[in-house]
Amino acid sequence: MSQYLQTKNSTRKRGGLLVFIIFHRWVGISTFILLLSLAITGIMLNHTEELKLNQSYIKNTWLQNWYGIKMPQQQNFIKLDNTLIAQIGKKLYLNQSHLLDEKSPLIGSYKSNDFIIIAMKKALYLFTLEGDLIERLDSEKNLPSPISRIGFSELIQNSNQLMIEVNQQYYTSNDDFLSWTKIQSKEFYPLELEDPKNVDKTFYQNAYLGNELNLERVILDLHSGRLLGRFGVYLMDLAAIILIMLGLSGTWIWSRRFRK
């Protein structure tokens, strides 16, 4: 009788162990993808600098949309002969070269024989025709501001008589923009911005959007689960808990087998 009970007890124990092994196996298989992602992204994040994750940018439109990255509202363009000046957000471009960052909006631009003049609301930039910065003028350099428009007093454009409009007053410079003089002008012919609809924005869209989201952020969000929002974070929490459970259950199964 006691032998029967011993056999029955042992069978029950073996059956329990078997169930546990099956549970351990399936939980392991079902969370494998998550654990693999956690491990690979973890290794990558440990080597951010070597892998240059913070310098690699995501060009994928779907991911950019997922992160809500879109073109900024501030998009101003000016065409000067063969030169296109573009302001996308705070980034200022001369043709396809990124010149500098300037928050205040682009007001107007003019190309003389010597300079390219770019007027922003609170600053005026002088560039060589090759795009090298000559000088940035602002209120500390006696530039009247905020500039609302730039233009000329006559229809025939004369670079020496470029005027800036500030609070409905007109100023001009006769010494290559070192100083400004207020002038009375009955006529004012402003230089207009280009209608954005007439500009091919493909390059600027790629240049702007392609520099907003770096690989480090995506890997970090993949690691923490934030890529899938709050649900993703809980999912990765669950994966981490399961990883702990697998460790414990694996050890338990191993110890039971070892005892035999």
Residues that bind other proteins (CB under 8 A): 126, 128, 132-136, 140-142, 175-176, 178-179
Residue 85 or residue 126: which is nearer to other proteins going by CB? 126
| Shortest distance, position 178 Cβ to other proteins, whole Å | 5
Residue 24 or residue 136: which is nearer to other proteins going by CB? 136
Q: How far is CA 124 from the centre of its chain?
A: 27
Tell me how far apart the terminal alpha carbons of the chain are, to the nearest angstrom.
23
Q: Please give the angle made by the CA atoms of 156, 147 and 157, to the nearest 5 degrees.
A: 5
Residue with tokens 């280009």: 194
Residue 118 or residue 219: which is nearer to other proteins going by CB? 118
CA separation for the pair 95, 5 (Å, rounded): 89
| Shortest distance, position 137 Cβ to other proteins, whole Å | 10
SS3 content of the chain, % helix, strand, coil (to 5): 45, 25, 30
| Shortest distance, position 125 Cβ to other proteins, whole Å | 10
| Shortest distance, position 186 Cβ to other proteins, whole Å | 29
Amino acid found at 137: L
Residue 137 or residue 239: which is nearer to other proteins going by CB? 137
Q: Is the dihedral of CA 252, 254, 259, 260 positive or negative?
A: positive
